[in-house]
Amino acid sequence: MRIAAEYADGWNIGFYPSNTPTGFGRKVKALDRYCKELGRDPKKLRKSWHGEVVIGETEVDVNEKVALPKKSFSNLDLDYNVARIIGTPDECFNQIQQYINLGASYFMLKFAGAEKIDSLRLFAERVLPHLRQENSGT
């Protein structure tokens, strides 16, 4: 992270156990501290979030989409929620907004079940407009 603070234009958190809102917030604070130590404005370093979106129209839809992968994922002794935005459109908006509030200005999103474009369409129609409206000044 110190190297990113000194030389990079951006920093990204990927599929790591720390890729949760709490972990992201801690890493951004550390990154900002490194920037300040090096005499760099932390706002000049783009912070990005990389993860998967699991979105459904209702809680039932969401639960169906995560049930099978979550079950097989539990065998890996990892937290399925790491590096994932999971929920209805409103819940996905709130989770993404939380990362924005923590300093994320760029997102690289993978969509569960993207071969069926319903998740992409739902996100584009019900989440993106609210994100644009809420963050038009940032």
First to last CA, the chain: 24
Residue that has been written with the tokens 């099978």 in this structure? 68
- Higher pLDDT among residues 107 and 64, named by residue: 107
Over residues 32-88, the pLDDT tens digits come to 999 999 999 999 999 999 999 999 999 999 988 888 666 555 555 567 788 999 999
pLDDT digits (tens, 9 = 90+) for 1-20: 999 999 999 999 988 888 99
Token reading at 18:
């720390």
- Domains of the chain, with CATH numbers? 2-134 (3.20.20.30)
CB 31 within 8 A of CB 11: yes
Give yes or no for a contact between 35 and 5, defined as CB atoms under 8 angstroms apart: yes
Q: H or E segment at 48?
A: strand 46-55
